[in-house]
Amino acid sequence: MKLFIDSANIDEIKEVAGWGVVSGVTTNPSLIAKEGKDFKSTILQICRIIEGPVSAEVLSLRTEDMIKDGREYSSWHPNIVVKLPMSEQGIKATKILSNDGIKTNITLVFSANQALLAALAGATFISPFIGRIEDTGHEGMSIIEEIRTIFDHYVFDTQIITASIRSPQHVTMAAKIGSDISTIPHKILKQMFKHPLTESGIKQFSEDWQSLSSYKVPQGV
Ligand code: E4P
């Protein structure tokens, strides 16, 4: 499973790019607004940091405007993926953009049927939102299992991006199910490194090594 970062924060993206294990970026209007900077220049800056798919979301609600915006975004940089909402208008726009060879990501997916519609429209990616399902008190991960089964059954090329991740456990579960990608907030990516036994083990090895280097071979031996 590939790892993407779910962020529009340039410092966060630069930091994770340095690890060499994050291969794409997803943004959404809320994440862009949080940074308070120009949309196009932020997206282009991200494209220069991570060499992989960078999702940029359309804001219009009419099919014609989504197509126009999608065509424009995709002209900015070859790695840009046009993110469109799960709706009749979004699916219509996806079909047309896919026919043009433009990469698309259907966002706000909350059911297997929505994922099926997106795959039939030729979407490159779909983003089911796990955390937001769980925020409503329902179990979230089973939607990833359902979509994986359907996509494998009919050999759809559409890739599943498990999104709205709230914990490292969500990442493990997505990987076990066979999600193609997980898009993960910076904080959760950092948590993935951590284990108390790793930290205490590193400390112990370092202390033991230092005690060995301070050992002096007695004279005359
Ligand atoms: C994915 O593409 C979305 O940007 C994101 O995962 C939404 O997550 P949230 O529910 O934490 O806002």
Q: For ligand 1, atom 9, which residue shows the shortest CA distance?
A: 164
- Measured in Å, residue 6 CA sits from the centre of ligand 1 at 7
Q: Taking 80 as the threshold, does the pLDDT of residue 215 lie above it? A: no
- Measured in Å, residue 203 CA sits from the centre of ligand 1 at 36
Mean pLDDT for the stretch of residues 158-181: 98
- Measured in Å, residue 168 CA sits from the centre of ligand 1 at 15
Residue of 3, 28, 184 best suited for mutating to test ligand 1, as the one with most atoms within 8 Å of CB? 28
pLDDT tens digits, 92-125: 999 999 999 999 999 999 999 999 999 999 999 9
CB neighbourhood size of 45 (10 A): 16
pTM: predicted TM-score of the whole model, two decimal places = 0.94
What span, in angstroms and rounded, lies between the C-alpha atoms of 120 and 91? 9
Cβ 55 vs Cβ 43: under 8 Å: no
pLDDT tens digits, 56-90: 999 999 999 999 999 999 999 999 999 999 999 99
What span, in angstroms and rounded, lies between the C-alpha atoms of 172 and 170? 6
Give the residue among 19, 21, 25 at the shortest CA–CA distance from 4. Answer: 25
What span, in angstroms and rounded, lies between the C-alpha atoms of 139 and 190? 25
> Using a 6 Å CB cutoff, which residues line ligand 1?
6, 26, 28, 107, 127, 129, 131-132, 163-164, 183
Read off the pLDDT band of 216 (50, 70, 90).
Answer: low
Spatial CB neighbours of 190, under 8 Å, sequence gap ≥ 6: none
Mean pLDDT for the stretch of residues 15-42: 98
Atom of ligand 1 nearest to the CA of 27: 4
Active-site residue, 83 included: yes
Cβ 190 vs Cβ 12: under 8 Å: no
Q: Taking 80 as the threshold, does the pLDDT of residue 219 lie above it? A: no
- Measured in Å, residue 164 CA sits from the centre of ligand 1 at 4
